[in-house]
Structure 1
Amino acid sequence: MGLSFLTKAPLAALLLLSQQLMAQQPVSNGVEMADKLRADGKIWVVVAVIAAIFAGIIIYLVRLDRQIGKLEKEVKQTGTPAQKNDYSL
């Protein structure tokens, strides 16, 4: 139940035309909030917070991968996971 070529072509042309129109809109002189933060020197606080969040996510994923790896090895060796209730991160 697909669309025929005659209905796809106008939709594709409209999509391409709308993207061209949106790309032609003028850009302002800059982002006012970012300019203010940069002028006050607070942009580094924003960068530090984003970096801390990113580092936390990476650390969490690495720990999770190690724990999953241990469980996979255990299942391969014994065939069943241990009956341990402490699977906390």
Structure 2
Amino acid sequence: MKKWLLILFLMVSLKVAAQEKVEITESDYQNTSVEMADVMRSDGKIYVVVGIIAIIMAGIILYVINTERKIAKLEENFKD
């Protein structure tokens, strides 16, 4: 079973690595605008994205702090 899974994952990874390459032209180097960001900023959606990212990061930070407090309490109990 492990051999078949390994073969399957190798085949999938080879399929991903075999994508077509797109030729880069001189106009690609001259392009300095980011259309997606400009559209999102003009619609006000960029602030929603930034807000969601901030909420996720705050949740991760609170989780880490809470876990650290629990570990410190366990360490104190273990020392006693």
Normalised to the residue count of structure 1, the TM-score between the two structures is: 0.55
Tell whether 2:29 aligns with 1:62.
Answer: no
- List gaps (5 residues or longer) in structure 2: 1-27
Partner of 1:44: 47
AA aligned to 1:66 is R
Deviation at 1:29, TM superposition (A): 2.2
1:72 and 1:28 map into 2 onto residues whose CA distance is 56
The SS at the match of 2:29 is coil
Comparing both structures, which one devotes a greater share of its residues to helix?
2
- Alignment RMSD, CA only? 1.4
Q: Within 2, Cα distance between the matches of 1:27 and 1:60?
A: 44
Matched, 1:32 2:35: yes
Question: In structure 2, the residue corresponding to 1:30 is in which secondary structure?
Answer: coil
Percent sequence identity over aligned pairs: 51
TM-score normalised by L of structure 2: 0.61
